[in-house]
């Protein structure tokens, strides 16, 4: 019988569903998780709310297969170490969304109508109607940063107030918006500049930490409202304080660096602050508990892993595009030379691939350096690049470029760009295809197998000479490409062969021909 550990006050529907499916359930919210884990080393599933699942906890449970976060955020779980140990981590997105969306409406109303201070004043026997003159939501403009489940529900809940809606989400286009919601997609700067209230619904990570700062707050209207029910680290508290002093900003907050009793630094700037009550409704607790148990059973019994957040690829990303990113990087690396030190990497992920950029970086690095292990503990792509002294830029892509789902990788040698290579590839008719190397366009090369790349000043005889050398060494030519560059001065000969070409043959080709580049790449796509 599989054992499930629930070290939190989760609605009992989770335990009931699990027991009904013949799971042994230990639910104990009083005993500290480390102690509970020590007592139950045969645990295979852990279901938590905000409890911390550290590397130490994972090590205590050698049979652990799955950790389920009954909620959306999973920053309290060491997902990288879990991946390294072969443990999947799930969340239950959407289970708490309505509760948080309704809290946003409550905070907005509380701020506009001075609910909290007016209540305190009236209980003290005062009658301060003039002091608590409020404002109405009707007709105002609200900006939503992040159009996930919560952001969209906020719009739905506020539509009855006849409001205008502006939104920013780098992964959502105007075409993705429900036309009935009448939402205008804007830049983040525009959302802050034109909204009467801005509500935040984005995760906290390296890119978003401190993103709500003076550069955005200075754009806000006087007496505008800012609501944070997302994560504490996304705002710069000192900049919020300055905006309150200079612009009369009203700030409502429900999130903190640590969910625990004690003084809160945000207290001096928050007009309304709650003890992280976003998901604290009976309905949300029930929904999250039910979802967590159902997902756990489906995972263990049916292999359904739709909500695993630390797997190699997210839902919606075809694993073949990770392989494509890797092979493009390998070709680019071989072009520059394996012993050349890189200074910079730039990438373009076109079409729907742009939203999966962070999942495509690891295979790029693996293609560039065999030393990079995407599953090594504490070695994330960005940290690895920093350690190697390599700068990385993922360039924005223009929607007008009709490259479909394709990838471009540029590698730079030296800080003064003394050498560079740019390779683009895609997948067409289920086949991998390299479409461009530098100015050699329309290559249409299927890179699988043994390939030799030869770049040379375009002149007659090179192809015949190379073919003769290969034939002399018992190597058959399976396929050949020889595009010219855009200036029609140079050509690149790419030959697919039936066996690997050794260094001696490479040296012979270099010796009898005047080539700029000559290298091999062997690719096994399996």
Structure tokens at 329: 């990087």
- Looking at the domain 97-273, which fold is it? Rossmann fold (3.40.50)
Task: In whole angstroms, give the CA distance from residue 151 to residue 200.
Answer: 8
- Looking at the domain 312-438, which fold is it? 60s Ribosomal Protein L30; Chain: A; (3.30.1330)
**Which residue is associated with the tokens 């792509």?**
381
Query: Which superfamily does 3-94+283-302 belong to?
Result: NAD(P)-binding Rossmann-like Domain (3.40.50.720)
Q: Which helix (H) or strand (E) holds 363?
A: helix 357-368
**Residue 20: which residues within 8 A CB-CB, separation 6 or more?**
none
Q: Where are the domains of the chain?
A: 3-94+283-302, 97-273, 312-438, 448-526
Q: Do the first three CATH levels of 97-273 and 312-438 match, i.e. the same topology?
A: no
Q: Residue 349's closest CA among 364, 367, 369?
A: 364
pLDDT in 10s for each residue of the chain, 526 residues? 899 999 999 999 999 999 999 999 999 999 999 999 999 999 999 999 989 999 999 999 999 999 999 988 888 899 989 988 889 999 998 888 999 999 999 999 999 999 999 999 999 999 999 999 999 999 999 999 999 889 999 999 999 999 999 999 988 776 667 666 689 999 999 999 999 999 999 988 888 999 999 999 999 999 999 999 999 999 999 999 999 999 999 999 999 998 889 999 999 999 999 999 998 999 999 999 999 999 999 999 988 888 898 876 777 888 889 889 999 999 999 999 988 889 999 999 999 898 888 888 988 998 998 777 665 444 578 888 888 889 999 998 776 667 789 999 999 987 665 789 999 999 998 899 999 999 999 999 999 999 999 999 998 999 999 999 999 999 999 999 999 998 888 999 999 999 999 999 999 999 988 899 999 999 887 6
Task: In whole angstroms, give the CA distance from residue 229 to residue 207.
Answer: 18
Task: In whole angstroms, give the CA distance from residue 421 to residue 410.
Answer: 6
The sheet with strand 406-413 has its strands ordered as: 391-394, 342-349, 406-413, 419-428, 431-437, 440-445
**Could you name the CATH architecture of 448-526?**
2-Layer Sandwich (3.30)
């Amino acid at each position: 019988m599989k054992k499930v550990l629930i070290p939190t006050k989760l609605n009992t529907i989770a335990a009931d569903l699990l027991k009904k499916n013949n799971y042994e359930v230990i639910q104990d919210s009083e005993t500290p998780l480390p102690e509970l884990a020590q007592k139950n080393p045969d645990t295979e599933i852990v279901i938590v709310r905000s409890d911390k699942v550290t590397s130490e906890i994972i090590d205590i449970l050698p049979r652990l297969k799955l950790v389920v976060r009954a909620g959306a955020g999973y920053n309290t779980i060491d997902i990288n170490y879990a991946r390294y140990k072969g443990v999947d981590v799930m969340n239950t997105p959407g289970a708490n969304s309505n509760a948080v969306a309704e809290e946003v409406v409550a905070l907005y109303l509380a701020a506009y109508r001075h609910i909290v201070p007016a209540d305190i004043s009236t209980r003290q026997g005062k009658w301060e109607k003039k002091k608590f003159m409020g404002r109405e939501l009707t007709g105002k403009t609200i900006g939503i940063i992040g159009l996930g489940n919560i952001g969209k529900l906020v719009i739905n809940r506020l539509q009855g107030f006849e409001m205008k809606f502006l939104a920013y989400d780098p992964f959502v286009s105007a075409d993705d918006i429900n036309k009935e919601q009448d939402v205008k997609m804007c830049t983040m700067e525009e959302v802050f500049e034109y909204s009467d209230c801005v509500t935040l619904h984005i995760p906290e990570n390296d890119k978003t930490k401190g993103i709500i700062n003076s550069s955005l707050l200075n754009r806000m209207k006087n007496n505008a409202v800012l609501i944070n029910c997302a994560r504490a680290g996304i705002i710069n508290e000192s900049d919020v304080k300055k905006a309150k002093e200079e612009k009369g900003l009203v700030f409502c907050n429900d999130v903190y660096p640590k969910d625990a009793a004690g003084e809160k630094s945000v207290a001096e700037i928050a007009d309304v602050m709650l003890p992280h009550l976003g998901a604290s409704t009976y309905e949300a607790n029930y929904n999250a508990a039910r979802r967590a148990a159902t997902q756990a059973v489906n995972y263990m019994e049916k292999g359904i892993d739709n909500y695993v957040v630390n797997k190699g690829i997210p839902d919606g990303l075809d694993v073949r595009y990770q392989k494509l990113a890797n092979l493009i990087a390998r070709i680019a690396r071989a072009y520059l030379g394996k012993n050349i030190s890189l200074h910079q990497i730039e990438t373009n992920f076109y079409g729907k691939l742009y939203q999966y950029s962070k999942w495509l970086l690891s295979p790029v690095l693996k293609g560039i350096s065999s030393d990079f292990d995407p599953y090594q503990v504490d070695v994330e792509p960005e940290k690895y690049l920093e350690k190697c002294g390599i700068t990385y830029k993922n360039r924005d892509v223009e929607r007008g470029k009709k490259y479909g789902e394709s990838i471009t990788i540029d590698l730079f040698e030296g800080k003064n760009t003394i050498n560079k290579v740019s390779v683009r590839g895609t997948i067409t008719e289920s086949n991998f295809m390299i479409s461009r190397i530098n100015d050699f366009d329309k290559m249409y090369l299927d890179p699988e197998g043994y390939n030799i790349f030869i770049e040379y000043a375009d002149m007659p005889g090179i192809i015949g000479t190379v073919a003769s050398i290969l034939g002399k060494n018992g190597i058959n030519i399976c396929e050949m490409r020889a595009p010219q560059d855009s200036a029609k001065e140079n050509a690149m000969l790419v030959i697919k062969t039936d066996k690997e070409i050794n260094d001696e043959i490479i040296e012979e080709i270099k010796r009898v021909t005047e080539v700029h580049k000559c290298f091999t790449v062997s690719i096994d796509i399996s």
